Structure formats: structure tokens, C-alpha cells
Structure 1
Amino acid sequence: MAVIHAYAAKSAGAALEPFEYDPGPLADNQVEVAVTHCGICHSDLSMLENEWGMTAYPLVPGHEASGVIAAMGSQVKGLKIGQRVGVGWQSGSCMACPQCMGGDHNLCPSSAATIVGHHGGFADRVRCDWQFAVPLPDALKPEDVGPLFCGGVTVFNPMLQYGLLPTHRIGVIGIGGLGHMALQFANKWGCEVTAFTSSESKRDEAIKLGAHNVVNSRDSNAMSQLAGSLDYILSTVNVPLDWQTILGALAPKGKLLVVGAVLEPIPVPAMSLIMAERAIGGSPIGSPATIAKMLDFCARHKISPQIETFPMSKVNEALEHLKAGNARYRIVLENDFAA
């Protein structure tokens, strides 16, 4: 196989620089995807800085790739050369454990990640097991789909897994890379949607994205008026919150769903859960089947992330833009490697 051209960091905190590598023979169960676009996620930043202690350098980040299948192994099923697909955080699983056999491939204990011990999509090509190359509906633009494969499915999966209904009232905490997609999903789901934000500048935008109500999370009076009113609250932020007030906003049998990777423990008063039969849950990405459902939902309801694009050669500028908190709301790199 030809050499893959990419951008890689050679140590923690280092700038990305041009990098080439030989991926070796394509495995029988793998596909090679010619990348046209790749989103940038905060998880890429965490991996670049080795915040999770599992980064191997040199690291080619990128786990929100879209493109077309350029090569296939002999055991690949249901795909064809030239087909449009996307590749997210997960690039493989064991296909034998109870989770995989039950359709929850994203919960596989032997899951393979696209950028953990593996080179990702800030490149002209990327590889994955064929089951994790998810076909793209014709209605979705290639530049839009990348962020759906991580940020999008991260908020779509808990809505599906925890039984969100059109009759429910849901709150979304954090109107950013994840939250702005959660607002769109919940609105098209048919729910009454409340956006929690600490930035008044996002109020009008939150309403345009699908929120019926917007609450300033720093306004204690406004927060107290929500007490006992929401069936679900989806927290997309990675910072500590006033968890007692958040739990208090849940109706009896309400659920707090956490998808933002808060590093500090979440204090939970037992009586807040017991007396109203409330629950707290979490959710990672979704299985390939869930990703496919999400893509179809987006195509049907004309949902897409708000993106800013950079040429892949400007990847370091794009990363600085994200670090500075200036992204509105997802950044997508466009492949500009010479043909």
C-alpha cells in the first residue's frame, strides 16, 4: 500500500507537523477510507496533551472523518469502493463479547479506538474494521457529517438508550460543541427543550437551535423556578456544577444524563435520588447501528452541526482556535494534501 500522509504530534503539547507512515498490508476485515474532511474534537486535544495517560507518540489525531472507501479487505461485507462513509471514535471491537453480540459494540471491553495506538483522520487516509465505516445518507454534506460521528452520537445515544419520549421535558446544559446538537435533536424529537447557559450572548442562538426556554445557569432565582419540572437533564459540560440545584430541577423519576467528562467526583445526596426516584446515568459514543440511526434522523429532519472549516494544512491554527474557545461550534478540516 502507498504511504499515508498525515499531521502528527511527536510529543505532548507539540505542534502538529507533516508526517508519513506505512500502514502495512490491509487486514482482511478492514477498509481504507480516503479522507475528505475530519472534525476536531476536544478529545483530540486531550489526547494531544496526554491528559488521559494513554497517548502513544507520534500521534495522528482525528476521529470524526468522512470520505470514500479506497480499499477493502477480502472479508468486508455490504460496502463498496467509492462509497461515502464516516469513521468515528471507535475503529473496531471484538465481535464476540456479550456487548458486541447484543448490539452494544460501543461498550465492548476490547474496543479499539481510532486514535489510541492507531493513527487517525488528520490524514489523507484512515483505516478501521469495516463494521465501523458507517455509510452516509445522500442528503448529508461531507463537511457536516464528521462532528456527528463523535459529538453528535454522544448526545443522541443517551436519548435513545434512556427512553426519551416526545412528551418529555428535557434540559440541556452547555450550548457548545455537544449541546448545540443536543438542542436540535431534542426539538425534532418533539420534546419541550430548556437550554442552560452561563452566556447571555447565546440566548437567541439557543432558541434558533431548538430551545423553547433558555435559563441562565448563574441566576439562582431562575434555576429555583425550575424545581421539579424536567424529565431529563443532559449535561454536556466538563466542569463542576451546582449538582444539588441541577438534581432539584428534575421531576419525580427524572434522569440526569452525564456526557461531559467532568474529572471531579459528582457529589450526590442520596435523599435527592431516593425520595423522588431520580436517577443519574452516563453514556459514551453509540454503536454503528445507533450512528446509522442518528444519520438517518439528521437527514430526515435536516439537522447539521454548525461548523467552521480550515484546510488541513492549517491544523495548528484550527487547534488554537478551539483551545481559545472561539469555535462556533465545531471545527472541520478539509483535506488539502496534494493529489
Structure 2
Amino acid sequence: MPIATRAFAAVAADKPLEPFSFTRRDPLPDDVVIDIQYCGVCHSDLHMARSETGPAHYPLAPGHEIAGVVAAVGADVTRFKVGDRVGVGCMVDSCRECSSCQAGEEQYCIPGFTGTYGAKDRFAEQSGQPITQGGYSDHITVDQHFVLSIPDALPLDAAAPLLCAGITTWSPLKEWNVGPGSRVAVIGLGGLGHMAVKLAHALGAEVTVLSTSDRKKADAERMGAKHFLINKDKAAMKAAAESFDLIINTVSATHEIADHVQLLARDGTMVMLGLTTEGLPVYALPLLWRRRRVAGSLIGGIRETQEMLDFCAEHGIACDIETIAPDQINEAYERMERSDVRYRFVIDMAKLPQAA
């Protein structure tokens, strides 16, 4: 029998999120049913809820930074048991057969991975839902392959955003071999940026934060940044030319990046993580002159995400969060648009209103 589920969902692009009830599938043999305790609020949730990244299917319960406890398991589940502390990130399925999936890079699944919310649900017949519904809810059913173990050393509320903000920044740091001696700059100290600073510092890098003002300088230094650079200061930007091996660009709005490319040393790379929908001009000569690169990176695979969680537990790293009740989500979205959060909202799903 499908599992009755309470949630907060977007019902239209121009309307606030509101309470929503639906059903999840009963566990199939490889499924894990999770009682969701906390769900982080990602900027992409806002984009999806408002149909800013393409037409959305409503009602839509966002949320892909999920932390909770196993409530039930299918007959063939071997990795988890009832009571385990677990998480779910941005994916709940993939083809498992393409070269990317076989390499443990499910986020680059060639046919395309199944997003935790807003994607066509191949289990629609069992769940009664044509699309996947996310973590702004009290339960979720997920194939064990896409469930992560949250170490006991990590608080569930502060661990939830690691399932997106943590892995999104960890993956490029590992791909570009950041370690002792690396010089890393982070553009933007928000939900992604503050995790990039913490992780790069823990990996041994010398970290610089680039921002439009010094409003968050003390926070950046507390998180491990050694330097803080105002990118509106032309003299300071000129003095910092050719200083960095890697720039992690977390800005989600249209912004200037051509001048920032000049900050890269020879063979340096700027990795784009922000979800921008407009073109950002980059000129060939600065790239050619120092063999620089502009690249992109998308979350991380399941194996890599578990490695990140274990690393965070070992080094005492978690997100800086502000916990909210589900009925505060619309206010949280408004504050996110004003960059008024330090540094991730997390919804306490225990405060979901009871069904009428």
C-alpha cells in the first residue's frame, strides 16, 4: 500500500509553497524508506519552484538535501537497516549501465539521472506520482544504491546540506587534485562557497575568498580563508593576477568573469558551479596566454559523496545553518534572493503540520 506523505509544495510558478499530501511507493526489494528529519534548501529549489530552469510540473515538492532515519527496507537491501542515519542527495536513480554510471559518476549518466524531485518517476505506477517529489516532506522511498550513510559524528541538521552544497564543492576540489600547497580562490561566500572554503582548507590549500564587499570577511577567516579579496577593487585584482591554481566560482547570477580569469596562474582552472542562465563572456587571449581553462562540475557520484561525508566527519566539517519550520519556506526563499542567509536554510520536518 502506498505510503501517505505530507509535504510543502509549489503549486504554480507565481504562488507560494503550501501544504501538500501525496503517496510514496511501498518499498520494492532494493528500496529504503526514510523518515525525513531535515531537508536543506538549495537555491536551485527556488529556480525549480518558479519554473526558471524550464517548465515545472506542479504540484512540486522540492528538496534534495535530505537527512533522516531508515524506517523500513526492502527484502534485498543489504547496506542499511531500520534506525540507520542516512541521507539522499540530488539523484534517486540512473541507468546504471552507461560508461559514466559504470565509473561511479552517476551524475553524468548519459541517458540522464533521475532527479530527487521534478523528474519523470519510473515508479509512477507504484507511487501514484508522475514525477519525483523531494525532501520538503516527511518520507521518501529510494533505491539503496542512492542512499548515503551519515556518520554519527555529523549532526543530521548540519549534515543535510552536505548532500548538495558539500558534494558540489568537494567534487571539483578532488578532480583538480587540491592538497597542501594548492592556491584556491572561492568566488562568493554563500551556501556553496562557505563549504568550498572549509573543504579546501581541510585539504591543506591556501584559500582566498573573493567577494563584492568585506561584509563576510570575518566569517571567511573563521572558516579557514587566509586572504579576502574585494573583486570590485581594481588595484587589488591587478595585484592578485596569476595567483591561483584553482578558482571555484559559486555565483548563481549573471556576473563578470573575464577579469577573474586573469587571476589564474599558468594551467589554472576556473570551475563554474553556479546555476546561471545567461552567457558569461570569456576572451581567448587570457586563456591562450597562460594555458588557462574554464570548466564546469556537477555534484558528484554516490561513491564520491560518501567519501565527502566521511571526510567531513573525520575533520569536524558541517554546514553553517539556520533551521526553519516548513511554513517559513516562502520567507526563506525571499531571504535567499537577498542573500540573507548564513549559510544554508534547513527545514525541520518534524514541524510539518499534521494532516487534517
Q: Same-fold call, TM > 0.5?
A: yes
Residue 191 of structure 2 aligns with which residue? 177
Residue 310 (structure 1) aligns with:
324
- Structure 1 residue 163: Cα displacement: 1.8
Paired letter, 1:58: P
Partner residue in 1 for 2:113: 111
Residue-by-residue CA offset, 1:247-282 (whole Å, 9 max, x unaligned): 111111111111012222232222222221111111
* Contact in 2 for aligned 1:224/1:245 (Cα 8 Å): no
Single out whichever of 286-295 and 234-243 deviates more from structure 2.
234-243
Q: Cα RMSD (Å) of the superposition?
A: 1.5
Q: Which residue of 2 aligns with 1:259?
A: 273
Q: How far 1:88 sits from its partner (Å)?
A: 0.9
**Would you say 1:150 and 2:164 are equivalent positions?**
yes
8 Å contact kept, 2:197–2:224: yes
Other-structure match for 1:206: 220
Secondary structure of 1:208's match?
helix
SS at match of 1:317: helix
Alignment check: 8 A CA contact 2:44 2:275 kept: no
Partners of 1:176 and 1:34 lie apart in 2 by: 28
Are 2:219 and 1:217 aligned? no
Contact 2:3 2:26 in 1 (8 A): no
1:132-189 deviation digits (Å, cap 9, x = unpaired): 1100111000111111101111111111112223211011000111111111111111
Q: Which residue of 2 aligns with 1:81?
A: 82
2: distance between equivalents of 1:310 and 1:240? 29
Query: Is the Cα contact below 8 Å between 2:10 and 2:18 reproduced in 1?
Result: yes
Aligned twin of 2:203: 189
Matched, 1:294 2:308: yes
Q: In 2 relative to 1, CA 217–122 (structure 1 residues): closer, same or farther, beyond 3 Å? A: same
Task: Report the alpha carbon displacement of residue 17 of structure 1 after superposing the two structures with TM.
Answer: 1.7
Q: Please name the residue that 2:243 is paired with.
A: 229
Correspondence for 2:35:
34
Instruction: Give the structure-1-normalised TM-score.
Output: 0.96
- Name structure 2 gaps, 5 residues minimum: 119-130
Report how many aligned residue pairs link the two structures: 339
Write out aligned runs for 1:10-21 (5 A).
10-21=11-22
Q: Percent same amino acid at aligned positions?
A: 37
* Equivalent pair of 2:26/2:141 in contact (CA under 8 Å): no
Q: Distance in 1 between matches of 2:83 and 2:210?
A: 42
Q: How far apart, in 2, do the equivalents of 1:122 and 1:241 lie? A: 30
Is the aligned partner of 1:327 residue 2:336? no
C-alpha distance in 2 between matches for 1:277 and 1:318: 42
5+ residue gaps, structure 1: none
Matched letter for residue 333 of structure 1: I
The alignment's TM-score, normalised by the length of structure 2, stands at 0.91
Secondary structure of 2:215's aligned partner: helix
Shift of 1:54: 4.2
